[in-house]
Structure 1
């Protein structure tokens, strides 16, 4: 905890701290919340995520269960069919909440599970049994993947496993080994990932768009923007100065935070009017807004909380023009201004016609410019009233305007002396 608190926060990394603390708050409430950090190498993405393991409270599991079975809801092949009395006989224990990593060299068997070679080669009592992999052993905890864009590019089979784990809540893994029955397990695991999108093979959303969409939030990690932040980082690293910053802890249960009706109506409008592809973006925004309210100690999540998290839920799913239009839409709602729907409203006789977000943004800018011109006094008054325009502005009619020519005719360039339109520079060598 202390090492995480001592990490220096600056404008470039604040979003990652927020995302990490939201994911921890969600996991404590038994809800996986997947986050990805993108940014230049050396900016501290991996450091922050690894240090955050200190925030994780311990879990209580059935004693010696490699799958971290919750005594109140056992799920593994050995304990899922046991009664409460049988579980009580086995006993329980408190252990650190899992924080495991998947490396670039990992194989499907080590990630999902494989035959337990120790038991199989036991000379006294050989037994064919399964050994759970990284993901099953991280149940109720976190799996961290560094350089996930490289892993998705070089290990498509591991990317497919992650798609299953992150596709539903809880996720699922399936362990298959010849000669043994197939084991399917539910897993409650939050996936944290980091990547350098400027290096080969590029950003995750260009390599495996389906996998990128599984992340609830994506954070762009930036550099410090002033020298004092760098000074503080250096002071913290050599222990000469420590800056203690409070870390928001979840207050109560996520179930106690209610999404406002306005929030859900706004999310519905955003999904339809801005033609979003994935419903996951909408559910991610609602969950992130509720987690923001939870960490702030508020019982209700509304449009104000949505404003804080929308860019993080959209940046890896949509282009910048769409995100800018959505943020303008939310900003107008918060300011109490009306905002026309992006799609044409369907009438009784004609269906709605979709308009692209870019076209909608250009149309909005055009309307603002027209309104500005209508209400500005600098337009010349020719005595001709504009065609019913409000604001009393007079628009020049070129057909009713007398054009006055210059008093002297222009001289053709061929009749001008050369020195009036040609400049000759002579260097030190006389050239």
Structure 2
């Protein structure tokens, strides 16, 4: 059994396993699907994502192409102008699908591309040429970034490069070096990322919201919730073995999954009603629903799939209250209990006015209730010399009315310690010798 399927699945990590497989299925179909895992350190986010490289089927590329050119659709500056006959003359080869990483200390030149120093310093045939970086070399594969929130905080230039890669499908990368022509390349790559949002500098959605929005889904990684799950992890014992080739044996690709009219109408309603900021939100919901249908063998994505993936798409984009309201409505539709119209999400000012109005009503009700209690149970004296008297045939207590009670002050004000004479600050006890 492969390392990926040897990993233990429990309630805290099952969503990550699922979205990893969804992303791989999307990539195989030629559609990048970007995923992020957030959670406490030591819960296995990085382990699962790195092990998932075993799921990646190989690719065919033009022989020795550093850009992983597809022989049917060459895109790099070296091969994109070649005819099919010229490509056949160069030859093709099967290689592992790329799985590369961007570290915290990476430089923009190593990530995007820079001058090829080996060719530049070749004494026999020196020439100025570009060497593709991590992003161009990961074409048709995956780039993994650990602690992406720290990267976005400390290396804004790398975050800007990721914005270009993730902003469109396919993405794009631009390589610039002094004295050389600018090279712009299309890049089809899935970005996988992990982060510990409880540590500085915080979650990605607060550090670089524009970058966070480009992730299709965000998974909240949880801890194992049972003793047996911990025991299985320590023992490396996985009782739920799955076939390694589950992704490779998919009968159809993502393009073959249909989207129901009901689903698209519902996505439009959610977008307008809840003032969702980005169209990427509903686009990611549709793609994720199609991937959920693909992995379960369905031909059409509908409401059932949307209910499964909506929380993962919304997690890093809207508030918890909005997610709860949307999921309550979707589950109501699924089980035939939803109202005809969605509840309209009010503005902050409207919500504040409503809160003030509700509190005013509560205070008014409390005032009436307290007045009734005072009238029925307490008898306030009419004179200014009110007293507390528990005597009386009815056993009714009498309380002093503070508004009609004279306050007798001390005979003279207290003297601050700083103004007391020295001899009064220390006292001596005189002992008698009798």
Q: TM-score range by the shorter chain?
A: 0.7 to 0.9
Aligned length: 367
CA contact (8 A) 1:216 1:281 kept: yes
Question: What are the within-5 Å matches in structure 2 for residues 268-307 of structure 1?
Answer: 268-307=268-307
Q: Does 1:246 align with 2:242?
A: yes
Q: 1:350-370: per-residue Cα shift (whole Å, max 9, x none)?
A: xxxx7349979xx9xxxxxxx
Residues 242 and 311 from structure 1, CA distance in 2 versus in 1: closer, same or farther, beyond 3 angstroms? Answer: closer
Structure 2 partner of 1:264? 264
Q: Deviations over 1:337-361 (max 9, x none)?
A: 34243477xxxxxxxxx7349979x
Q: Which moved more, 1:319-328 or 1:245-254?
A: 245-254
Contact 1:274 1:356 (C-alpha < 8 Å) held by counterparts:
no
Give the drift of 1:242.
Answer: 4.4
| 1:36–1:407 Cα change, 3 Å | closer
* Residues 251 and 295 in structure 1, CA contact (< 8 A), matched pair in contact too: no
Partner residue in 2 for 1:351:
none
**CA contact 1:342–1:355 (8 Å) conserved in 2:** no
Give the aligned partner of residue 168 of structure 1. 168
Identify the residue that residue 389 of structure 2 maps to in structure 1.
415
Alignment partner of 1:184: what SS?
strand
TM-score by length of 1: 0.80
Q: Where in structure 1 are there 5+ consecutive unaligned residues?
A: 345-353, 364-397, 421-431
Q: Residue 60 of structure 2 aligns to a residue in which SS?
A: strand
- Which protein is bigger by CA-based radius of gyration? 2
Gaps of 5+ in 2: 355-367, 392-396, 398-434
Does the aligned pair in 2 maintain the 1:342–1:357 contact within 8 Å?
no
Distance 2:89 2:376 in 1: 106
Cα contact 2:329–2:342 (8 A) shared by 1: no
Contact 1:321 1:357 in 2 (8 A): no
SS at match of 1:191: strand
**Kept in 1: contact 2:36–2:218 (CA 8 A):** yes
Question: 1:408 Cα deviation (Å)?
Answer: 10
Equivalents in 2 of 1:211, 1:198: separation in Å? 19
Q: Which residue in 2 is equivalent to 1:153?
A: 153
Query: Could you give the per-residue CA deviations for residues 69-128 of structure 1, whole angstroms, max 9, x where no partner exists?
Result: 000000000000111111111110000000000000101100000000000000111010
Aligned to 1:27: 27
Contact 2:330–2:338 (8 Å) recurs in 1: no
Instruction: Quote the residue 2:98 is aligned against.
Output: 98
- Structure 2 counterparts to residues 20-419 of structure 1, below 5 A: 20-236=20-236, 241-246=237-242, 248-249=246-247, 250-342=250-342, 355-356=346-347, 414-416=388-390
Contact 1:12–1:223 at 8 Å: present in 2 too? yes
8 Å CA contact retained: 1:321, 1:358: no
Instruction: Tell me the CA shift for residue 243 of structure 1.
Output: 3.0
How far apart, in 2, do the equivalents of 1:413 and 1:39 lie?
63
- Structure 2 CA distance for partners of 1:122 and 1:14, relative to 1, 3 Å: same
Report what 1:3 is aligned to. 3
- Give TM-score scaled by structure 2 length: 0.80
